[in-house]
Structure 1
Amino acid sequence: MDRATHSAYDDDAASFAQDWHDQPPPADLHAIVQNYFLKGTTADIGCGSGRDTAWLTANGFPAHGFDASEGLLAEARHRYPQLTFSHAELPDLAEIAPASFDNVLCETVIMHLDRTEIAPSVRRLLDILRPGGILYLSWRVTPAADVRDPHGRLYAAFDAALVREALSGTAFLLDEEVVSASSGKTIHRLVAKKPG
């Protein structure tokens, strides 16, 4: 993750966690997961406060949350002590073995990466899936040039083709650009199935 973004999440983890929990539930994301995910183990990459990890586990997709920010991991462990959260950072995800999960969820994370790390990160997300597994990947759309928000978080501008190319050989089940029901921001979503 971009260093300034990483620091922002560590320094103000409690506020970010509260903000995410105060947002309306992401009903649109939940519907996609229920429609496409396999009933099996799920990696929540960039789990933040653990909100989605908890929902996944409660709805038949037992999840392990991973994040690069120790501050956010502390928030997740405090809010959901019964769940498992671990440190892992894109693009390497060094702590996760290949073919470990039936599903991978990576919700609005990759736009915080330097553009050169996006394709390797997407390929690694696919790598940790078992054959036939499902990847849900979304990012906040930033037109034109990279920007930083008032917290210093990076929002990289890149074309969706960069992600599609990194997922070549998969079957695309969903590919859309929409306004998120939870955050109100424009996001791009992809659901892809790894070859069996």
Structure 2
Amino acid sequence: MAKAVFHKNQRIYVKPVGTWSVIEQIKPQWVKDIEEPVRIFYEVGLGRVFTADELTGEERDANAGPVKEQNWRILRTRNKWQNAEECAHHPFPGTFPVVVTDTKDWGGWRTPGAEYDRNPEGIEVQARIMANGLRLLQIAERLAESIQKSAGDAPAELVELAREARAISRFIQDVPSAAPETAL
């Protein structure tokens, strides 16, 4: 008796065709007077049905990238240099954003009070961008990987976006070597 190996909407690699696809429909083959299907076929939208041995499931990395390892978030800290009445024009009077990058709620990014007072809306936007930067990096890497797997079927504009995403990812992840020592 056969059991389904893949599920509907699962991303799989179709070996005979050499491309990635998604399971659209699971088609069991039944025989009269038998309670379970004899074989299972999978419709993947490529013109014919495939068996499980012609397909390979997508492998997932358990710790995929920096998003799993870190949790950047915005905390609001009390404004020590002005009271709430003096900064009523701020988006959140009496507080300012701190982007925390450590599990102990310290370490990260904060802005000087004078700079926040000069442009509070801009600083709030910067804080939201930084707090979501790791997720944006992961999306960019997945976009680049997905377009690379499309084997030239992607539009030129998406290929260019993937190239830029890979360049940004390399820039972020490549740590420069120490500066060369200079002789005195």
Please confirm whether the aligned pair reaches a TM-score higher than 0.5, indicating the same fold.
no
Instruction: Please tell me whether Structure 1 or Structure 2 has the larger radius of gyration of its CA atoms.
Output: 2
More strand by share: 1
Query: Which TM-score band (shorter chain)?
Result: under 0.3
